[in-house]
Every structure is written in structure tokens, then in C-alpha cells.
Amino acid sequence: MLANIVIFIIAIIIMLVGLAGEVLPGVPGGILIWIAALLYGIVTGFSQFGILTILILIFIWLIAVLINYVFVWLTSKHLGVSWYGLAGAIIGGIIGLFLANILGLLIGAALGAFIAEYIYQRHVVSALKASGGVVVGFVIGSVLKIVLAITMILVFLLAVIL
């Protein structure tokens, strides 16, 4: 009994690190939450929840992985951003991430989209739309990823408690 409580606390700590990983670069997010649940299940012999819970957590994690890219793409496309602008956002985001963490990622993606779209279309308004679309899509996607990570933790807690 005491061992299960200790394992549960360790799993929750790992899950909270995973939740932080949704906003901190270099720290895994949802996958860490899933691994903590899986390890808890293995150590306890899946006595408190079954494989269905693990499958539900995988499904939620996969949605979270896709959602950020989908929202950046949809928002950018809605604003008429070209593939050049999206490529610029990706390159700028990667450079920004290495230079200044999460804020650098956001600023780098916005600048990359602006520069690439301006070079492609030679139009400041289009370049500003590209930059804004990337930022809005990234923020919406990030918020949804955090919500899904919290949902994963809640699914785990409900499975263990019920």
C-alpha cells in the first residue's frame, strides 16, 4: 500500500514535469505524462486501470502533437500566407529556439514568416499578416496543448481513483 502511494506520487511529479514541458523547450510534454502513466500501470500490475486508459492517453497525446502544427497552418492559410512564409516561420522558429528559448521561438517564427513573405511578395501588409498568423496560431495551439496535457493527467487520476 505504501509502495503504491510512493509510486503514485512519483508518477504525478513526472506528469507535472510533462505539463511544464508543454511550454518549456527541450522538456518532453505529453509523452512524459503518458510514460508516467504507463510505468505506474506496469509497476502496479494495471490493478487500478487497464490498457484502455493507456490507449486513451496515447490518443490525446497524438492530438496534442498535431494540434500546434495544424493551428499554425490553418491560421496562416486563413490569412493567405504562402508556403514561403510558413517555411520562413519554421526556419526562424528553429533559429530563435536555439538563441532564446520559447520567446525566441515565437519571435523567430514571426520574423521568419515576415521576412520570407516579404521577399516572396514584396508587400509589407502580406508579410505582417504572415507574421501575425504564425503568432496567433502558435499561441492557440500552445494553449490547446496545455489543456490536453491537463486532460491527460485528469484521465489518469480518474482511472486510478475510480
Predicted pLDDT at 24: 76
Write down the domain spans for the chain. Answer: 2-161
Q: At 10, is the pLDDT very low, low, confident or very high (cuts 50, 70, 90)?
A: very high
Task: Express each pLDDT in 81-133 by its tens digit.
Answer: 888 888 898 899 889 888 887 788 889 989 999 999 999 988 898 888 888 88
pLDDT at 34 over 90: yes
Neighbours of 81 (CB within 10 A): 29
Closest by Cα among 161, 162, 155 to 15: 155
Task: Express each pLDDT in 55-82 by its tens digit.
Answer: 999 999 999 888 877 777 777 777 778 8
Q: Could you give the CA distance from residue 113 to residue 110 in angstroms, rounded to a whole number?
A: 5
Q: At 18, is the pLDDT very low, low, confident or very high (cuts 50, 70, 90)?
A: very high
